Each structure stands twice: as structure tokens, then as C-alpha cells.
């Protein structure tokens, strides 16, 4: 590292590029990338660099992480640096509680002719909304058409993966037993694809929890699990207000098991699961 006239090390081009990436991700996604995560710039952006025709990661960052950069470049950065850790029926204890304490009540409303709206925010590659659709088909097959699942994510490539319904053998083996796999998927080259009837009640949309786009409204259930941990306090509060506003009165909000909130009007039911009571 070079030294300045004051003797203080001057920032290298790589550290300047990492700073650009940090600021870009904060502006666009709210994700807080730490200084000690700079290795992600090389490890996750190398392939993107070649795909988009740049010679170095630094060139890509300089072109993509600036105001008014082409959407194709910005989207590629977001896609590569956003954590997409997910699986089918992730945290099985949560799904058992959701079924017993929430879905049974929503099914009763559906039987009475009520249209039930569910929002899966930051759905990543789609395992959560598909898990929800699988569970509803198992426990309420006659009411399934009274349920609307809106699945959103910030990155178009990630959402396209989810929309395609195609998953590798490794992906389906994370959370699906053989009974659920055979009932809801057909085998395809290189993996498995969800059956058409499973995706029929799911609508996929681009949405940024910190952006200007409007979120769904009057939702009986909102799921936004394991997302807030990547936000700073200010952005977390902003996103929470939007999630709560999207939840109908007597509706439910589900966060990750390690996430919590003390927002007024929410009553804690179990770890990460809240009832909007006013």
C-alpha cells in the first residue's frame, strides 16, 4: 500500500472499489457489507465480470456502482452480492407453528368465502412460497383457490430462477422428503421442476423493501424471514413499517427466528411470529 505525504497509507484501488460496492449495496438493498467482507468482491464478482465483458472486477465496479448505471450492470451486482441462503421448509419448527396457529385460522376464513392474501417478501429463489403452496395443498386442497401468494424479491435473475420452478437435486433434497417431492415435482434434465398446479396461485414480482415501489396491501399473512439481520437500524425500522402497513388488522407477520421487533400494534405469538392487533 502506498503512503501519503503524512505517512498514512493511501487507499488502494481495490479498497476504493470495495467502498463503492459497500455504498452501492447500502443504497440499493440496505445490506450492510463490513470492511472485513472485501473478499466477496473478488469471489462473487469474478464470473460476473467475465460474463459482462469487463477485464477486471474493478472495471465492473466502476461502471456499475455509480448513479444512473445501466440496469443490467446494477442488477448483476445486486444478484451476486445478495445472500440467497434458503431451502424448502426452512426451520421446520416455524412451519409447524405456522400451520397450527395461523394457517388453520386462515383456512377457516377461506371456507367462509374469504379471499386470503399472503405476501412472501424477499423470497429469494422461491423455496418459501413453494413450501407454503405445498403445505396449503396438503391441508386445504378444497380451499387452495381462495389463497393468493405474492412472492417478491429485489433481483430479477433470482426471481426468474424462482419463477422457472426448476431446482437441482441438491436443492430439493434440502427440506423435501420423497413424498412431497413426488407429489409436487416432475423430474427434468439436471433436477426437478414444480408441477403447474403448484405455481398456479403464486404471483412473482420485483420489489425492494427500501425502494419506492408499492408493496401489496391488506395481506392476511406477511413473511419476511431472515432479511432484517442484513439491514442497519434505520433501514430495519423503515422496512418494518412497510411490512406492518401491508399486514391487515388481525393479520400475521412472520420474521426469522432470530429477529424480533417491539413495534406497537404487534403481539408476539411465538419466536418471530406476530399478530397485528391494532
Average pLDDT value for the chain: 88
Strands (E), the chain: 116-120, 147-153, 166-168, 185-188, 191-194, 202-206, 219-223, 247-254, 266-270, 273-276
- Partner residues linked to 192 by β-bridges: 167, 187
* All residues at 6 or more sequence positions from 251 whose CB lies less than 8 Å from its CB, including other chains: 219, 220, 221, 222, 275, 276
Burial of 28 by CB count in 10 Å (0-12 exposed, 13-18 middle, 19+ buried)? buried
What pLDDT was estimated at residue 6? 42
Residue 220 DSSP label: E
| Per-residue model confidence (pLDDT) at position 64 | 85
Count other Cβ atoms within 10 Å, centred on residue 237: 13
Most confident of 59-63, 85-89, 99-103, 268-272: 99-103
Q: Tell me the C-alpha distance between 262 and 169, whole Å.
A: 40
Strand order in the sheet with 273-276: 202-206, 147-153, 116-120, 219-223, 247-254, 273-276, 266-270
Q: Cα(97)–Cα(102) distance, rounded to whole angstroms? A: 8
User: Phi-psi bin for 68: left (phi > 0), alpha (psi -120 to 50), beta?
Assistant: left
Q: List, in order of start, the domains of the chain with CATH numbers.
A: 13-81 (1.10.155), 92-276 (3.40.50.150)
Note the pLDDT tens digit of each residue in 198-253.
999 999 999 989 888 899 999 999 999 988 877 888 888 999 999 999 999 999 99
pLDDT tens profile 112-171:
999 999 999 999 999 999 999 999 999 999 999 999 999 999 888 889 999 999 999 999
**β-bridge partners, 31:** 231
Measured between its terminal Cα atoms, the distance across the chain in Å is: 57
What does the block give as the cell for 48? 460476473
- pLDDT at position 9, please? 42
Cell triple for 170? 441438491
Mean pLDDT of 70-83: 77
Amino acid at each position: 500500500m502506498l503512503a501519503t505525504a503524512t505517512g498514512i497509507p493511501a487507499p488502494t484501488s481495490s479498497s476504493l472499489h470495495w467502498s463503492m460496492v459497500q455504498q452501492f449495496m447500502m443504497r440499493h438493498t440496505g445490506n450492510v457489507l463490513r470492511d472485513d467482507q472485501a473478499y466477496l468482491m473478488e469471489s462473487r464478482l469474478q464470473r460476473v465480470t467475465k460474463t459482462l465483458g469487463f477485464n477486471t472486477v474493478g472495471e465492473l465496479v466502476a461502471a456499475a456502482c455509480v448513479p444512473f448505471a445501466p440496469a443490467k450492470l446494477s442488477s448483476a451486482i445486486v444478484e451476486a452480492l445478495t445472500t440467497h441462503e434458503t431451502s424448502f421448509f426452512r426451520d421446520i419448527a416455524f412451519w409447524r407453528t405456522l400451520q397450527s396457529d395461523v394457517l388453520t385460522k386462515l383456512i377457516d376464513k377461506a371456507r367462509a368465502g374469504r379471499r386470503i392474501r399472503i405476501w412472501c417478501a424477499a423470497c429469494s429463489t422461491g423455496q418459501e412460497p413453494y413450501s407454503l403452496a405445498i403445505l396449503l395443498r396438503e391441508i386445504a386442497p378444497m380451499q387452495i383457490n381462495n389463497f393468493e401468494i405474492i412472492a417478491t424479491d429485489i433481483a430479477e435473475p433470482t426471481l426468474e430462477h424462482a419463477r422457472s420452478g426448476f431446482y437441482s437435486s441438491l436443492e430439493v433434497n434440502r427440506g423435501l422428503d420423497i413424498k412431497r417431492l413426488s407429489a409436487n415435482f416432475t423430474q427434468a434434465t439436471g433436477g426437478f421442476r414444480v408441477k403447474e398446479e403448484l405455481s398456479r396461485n403464486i404471483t412473482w414480482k420485483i420489489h425492494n423493501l427500501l425502494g419506492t415501489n408499492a408493496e401489496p396491501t391488506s395481506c392476511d399473512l406477511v413473511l419476511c424471514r431472515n432479511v432484517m439481520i442484513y439491514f442497519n437500524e434505520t433501514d430495519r425500522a423503515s422496512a418494518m413499517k412497510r411490512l406492518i402497513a401491508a399486514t391487515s388488522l388481525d393479520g400475521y407477520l412472520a420474521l426469522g427466528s432470530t429477529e424480533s421487533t417491539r413495534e406497537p400494534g404487534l403481539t408476539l405469538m411465538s419466536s418471530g411470529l406476530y399478530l397485528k392487533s391494532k
